[in-house]
Each structure stands twice: as C-alpha cells, then as structure tokens.
C-alpha cells in the first residue's frame, strides 16, 4: 500500500476544477482498485463506490473531487481575461501562476490594470476579476488562439510540499478528504454496515453533485469529510477555535447547515471511547456537502467531519498529517458503532 503522503501528493497535484473532474475521478478510481465491492459514475459525474456490510443499514461518506479555478472568457489581444469557478479570489492569483487544462499545458502570469499609480493602487486594494488579465507570453493573437481558447479552465500552478508533519499544497480542499476516504476504504475490512463513499463533483459551485448523489442510495446517515479553517495563526479570527494537531473537527455548524445532533453526539462518543483526539467546530463562514444531503428526499441526518486547514482557498493550504490519520481512525470506529 502506498504511503498516505504519496496519495495526498498525487491527488492534490491533479488539475480538476469544478465541472472538469475527469482526471481526478480516474485517479481516485484507480487508487481504489481491489478495495471496493462495486462502483458507478452517475449521470452528472459523481463517483460512487461501496463496500457491503453485514447488517442492514447504510452509511454515506462524501468528499468532493473539485477544486476552485478559473475559466477563460475573453481573448484581449495577446492577453486573456478569466472569471472565477467556485470561490476563487483574485487576490491569491497575483504572484501565483495559473496552469490551464490544455495539452500541451499553458501557464499564465496574472497582471493588474492601472493607467496611473493611483488607479493601480486602487485596483490592488479593491481587486476584482474585471481588473486583472492573464499573460501567457503569446507572440500574437493568432499564436495565442492556437494554444488556448475561450472556455478553457485553469487552476493554481502550485505543487505539493511536506515538512515537519505538515502537508502543503493547492486543493487540500477537498483532495485531503478524498485521500482520507481512499485510505479509509483501503483499511476497512468486513464492515458492520454498508458504506458508500461518494466522490462528488461541483461542490465549489454550489453543492451540485451532493444534491443528487444520495437520491437513489437513500442512506441512513451522511457525513461529509471536508476542510475547515484553522485559526492558530497570528491575530486570526477571534471567534473561532479550530487548530492543527488537535485532531479531526466535529462540526456543529457553519453558514450552510447545522449538523444533526444525534450524529454529532455519536461521533463525540466514539472519539472519546477510543481516545481519538478531536475538537468541536463552529465555522462562521462557508458550507459543506452535508447541507445538500440534509435536503435529499425526506431528509438524511447529516454532519461533517473536518480537517483543520490553514489558508483555505489559497495555493498553499496546510494540514497536519496526524489530523488526517486520526480522521481515518474516527471514521473506521464510527462505522462499527454508528447505530448502537
């Protein structure tokens, strides 16, 4: 079995913005070969895998495959204009390159408009996609059009790094969740209940995949595995409490949903019983696919288990290896005790 670190590196370096998840879906499927009882890809592109259980209940875990990115909307002479896919902010694009999904790959540098020094500084302060452009070093409009066209997607040009028990890369949100679920499925043997893992599409554009993935599965409980903020950095937000190395965060609430009380209490119980480090999470912004599972048909009791992450939605998201390992442990024990 490959090391967790290599799995995370493989997943985070794939380019898979919302709506263009083919490559990451293939990578995930290959890494599960031999570890699942079955799989399918639904009409909108979610990857659903499963392991059958001994007893008659169904647990669903979700991690989304997509990352935030950009899409080319205009060719402006020898430059490109782009718009965000998911919650991509222009501020992180300055100084970071963009890797476009074409073959051969095209890389771009982001610049800011400013016909005077005042205007330039104003644009920097109130940065928006209308005021930036992408330079792919094209020699002419025709040469540009041969390499890349409108409708092409792009992601951060960033690579995986590791240091002192920390992993750093773009797209930890939510490739780290995908890695957790793959590692979990690899370790899960003879589960008590049937486990579905949904690797969902287009979460960043508005929980699209998760809104439909459970429609035919009808699980008894759904748990999203996603990232949450980590506020253990200088003068970080005063109102939140999550930090690295304190274990997986059991989410009480975020802006999109409140976790089902019964599922939360059970997760706490399981963690305490098996001595798994964990923390409670209240996130004052953002949301996860749990909100979408809650709204499926007559409602599925849902919750989220989060991996604390510094610099979410930047090209260099940071997680703790121990938190990731403890998350896998928590899920494995939860599967055995979920309905006691």
Partner 1 sequence: MMETKEILKRLSASFGPAGFEEKVAKEIEQLVPDEVDEVRRDALGNVVATINPDGSPHWALFAHMDEIGGVVSKLEEGGFVRITPVGGVDPKILVSQRVRIHTRSGVVDGIVGAVAPHLLDKDKRDKVPMYEELFVDVLDGVERIRVGDPVIVDAEPCELKSGYVSGKALDNRASCAVLVKVCEYLKERRFGFRVSVVFNTTEETGGAGAKGAAYALEPDYAIVVDVTHANEDTGMNRIELGKGPAIAVGAPVDRTLFQRACDVAEKLSIPYQVEPVPGRSGTDTDQVQLVGRGIKTLLISVPLLYMHTPVEVVDPGDVEMAARLIVELFMDFERGGGQCI
Partner 2 sequence: MYLKELSELSGISGDEGEVRDFIKSHMASYADEMWVDNVGNLLILKKGRESDKKVLIAAHMDEVGMMVVRINEDGTLGVAPVGGLDMRVCLGKRVRIGDVHGVIGYKAIHLQKKMEDKFPARRDVKVFCGFKNKDEAAENVKLGDYVYFTTTFEEKGEYFSGKAFDDRGGCSILMDLLSSGEPAYDTIFAFLVQEETGLRGSSVVVEQVKPDVAIVVETTTAGDVPELEEYRWATHLGDGPAVTFAHRGYVVDPRVFQTIVETAEKAGIRYQYKRRTAGGTDAFRFARSAYGVPAGVVSIPCRYIHSPVSLMRKDDYHETLKLMQLLVMKGEVKKAWRN
Judged by the rule CB under 8 A, the positions of this chain that interact with partner 1 are 237-241, 250, 252-253, 257-261, 264, 279-282, 284, 294-295, 297-301
Instruction: Select from 151, 164, 189, 298 the one that contacts partner 2 (CB under 8 A).
Output: 151
Total binding residues toward partner 2, as defined by CB under 8 A: 33
Minimum distance from CB of 83 to partner 1 (Å)?
26
SS3 of residue 335 by DSSP: helix
On whether the CB atoms of residues 224 and 235 are closer than 8 A, the answer is no
Catalytic residue among 21, 67, 203, 204, which? 203
- Residue entry with tokens 């009808």: 218
Tell me which of partner 1, partner 2, none is bound by residue 211, counting a contact when its beta carbon lies within the kind-specific cut-off of 5 to 8 angstroms.
partner 2
Q: Which is nearer to partner 2, 48 or 283 (CB)?
A: 48
314 binds partner 2 (CB under 8 A): no
58 binds partner 2 (CB under 8 A): no
Residue 153, judged by CB atoms within 10 A of its CB (0-12, 13-18, 19+), counts as buried
Minimum distance from CB of 252 to partner 1 (Å)?
4
Q: Which is nearer to partner 2, 165 or 206 (CB)?
A: 206
On whether the CB atoms of residues 318 and 259 are closer than 8 A, the answer is no
Q: CA 131 to CA 136: how far, in whole Å?
A: 17
Q: Which is nearer to partner 1, 157 or 254 (CB)?
A: 254
Whether 269 sits among the annotated catalytic residues: the reply is no
CA atoms in the 13 A half-sphere facing the CB of 250 = 22
Tell me which of partner 1, partner 2, none is bound by residue 94, counting a contact when its beta carbon lies within the kind-specific cut-off of 5 to 8 angstroms.
none
The 211-250 site mask, x for binding partner 2 (CB under 8 A), equals: xxx-xx----------------------------------
Q: Which DSSP state fits 104?
A: S
Q: How many CB atoms lie within 10 A of CB 234?
A: 4
Q: How many CB atoms lie within 10 A of CB 280?
A: 13
25 binds partner 2 (CB under 8 A): no
Q: SS in 3 state form for 210-269? A: HHHHCCCCCCCEEEEEEEEECCCCCCCCCCCCCCCCCCCEEEEECCCCECCHHHHHHHHH
* Residue spans of alpha helices (H) in 2-78: 4-13, 22-31
Q: CA 196 to CA 127: how far, in whole Å?
A: 42
Instruction: Select from 168, 208, 270, 276 the one that contacts partner 2 (CB under 8 A).
Output: 208
CA angle 3, 210, 243 (to 5 degrees): 50
* φ/ψ (deg, to 5) at 19: 95, -15
Q: Which is nearer to partner 1, 123 or 306 (CB)?
A: 306
* Residue spans of alpha helices (H) in 188-318: 208-213, 261-273, 290-294
Which residues in 65-84 contact partner 2 (CB under 8 A)?
71, 73-74, 76, 81, 83-84
315 binds partner 2 (CB under 8 A): no
Tell me which of partner 2, partner 1, none is bound by residue 62, counting a contact when its beta carbon lies within the kind-specific cut-off of 5 to 8 angstroms.
none
Tell me which of partner 1, partner 2, none is bound by residue 208, counting a contact when its beta carbon lies within the kind-specific cut-off of 5 to 8 angstroms.
partner 2
Q: CA 112 to CA 94: how far, in whole Å?
A: 8
Q: Which is nearer to partner 1, 41 or 284 (CB)?
A: 284
Q: Which residues are known to be catalytic?
A: 203
Q: Which residues of this protein are in contact with partner 2, per CB under 8 A? A: 17-20, 22, 41-46, 71, 73-74, 76, 81, 83-85, 130, 150-151, 202, 205-209, 211-213, 215-216
């Amino acid at each position: 079995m490959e090391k967790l670190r290599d799995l995370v590196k493989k997943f985070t370096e794939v380019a898979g913005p919302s709506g263009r998840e083919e490559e990451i879906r293939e990578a995930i499927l290959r890494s599960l070969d031999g570890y699942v009882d079955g799989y399918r890809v639904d009409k909108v592109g979610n990857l659903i895998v499963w392991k059958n259980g001994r007893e008659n209940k169904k647990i669903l875990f979700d991690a989304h495959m997509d990352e935030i990115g950009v899409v080319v909307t205009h060719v402006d002479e020898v430059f490109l204009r782009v718009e965000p896919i998911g919650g991509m902010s222009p501020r992180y694009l300055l100084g970071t390159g963009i890797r476009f999904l074409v073959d051969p790959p095209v890389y771009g540098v982001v610049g800011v408009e400013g016909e005077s020094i005042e205007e330039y500084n104003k644009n920097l302060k109130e940065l928006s996609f209308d005021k930036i452009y992408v330079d792919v070093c094209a020699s002419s409009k025709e040469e540009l059009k041969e390499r890349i066209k409108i409708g092409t997607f792009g992601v951060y040009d960033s690579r995986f790094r590791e240091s002192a028990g920390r992993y750093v890369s773009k797209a930890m949100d939510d490739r780290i969740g995908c890695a957790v679920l793959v590692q979990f499925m690899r370790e899960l043997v003879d589960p008590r209940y049937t486990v579905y893992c949904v690797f969902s599409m287009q979460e960043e554009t508005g929980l699209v995949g998760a809104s439909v993935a459970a429609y035919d599965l009808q699980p008894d409980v759904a748990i999203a595995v996603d990232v949450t903020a980590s506020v253990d950095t200088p003068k970080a937000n005063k109102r939140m409490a999550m930090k690295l190395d304190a274990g997986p965060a059991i989410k009480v609430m975020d802006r999109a949903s409140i976790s089902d009380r019964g599922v939360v209490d059970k997760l706490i119980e399981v963690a305490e019983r098996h001595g798994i480090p964990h923390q409670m999470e209240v996130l004052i912004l953002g949301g996860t696919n749990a909100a979408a599972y809650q709204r499926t048909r007559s409602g599925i009791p849902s919750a989220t288990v989060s991996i604390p992450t510094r610099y979410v939605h930047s090209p260099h998201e940071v997680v703790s290896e121990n938190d990731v390992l403890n998350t896998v442990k928590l899920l494995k024990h939860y599967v055995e005790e979920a309905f006691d």
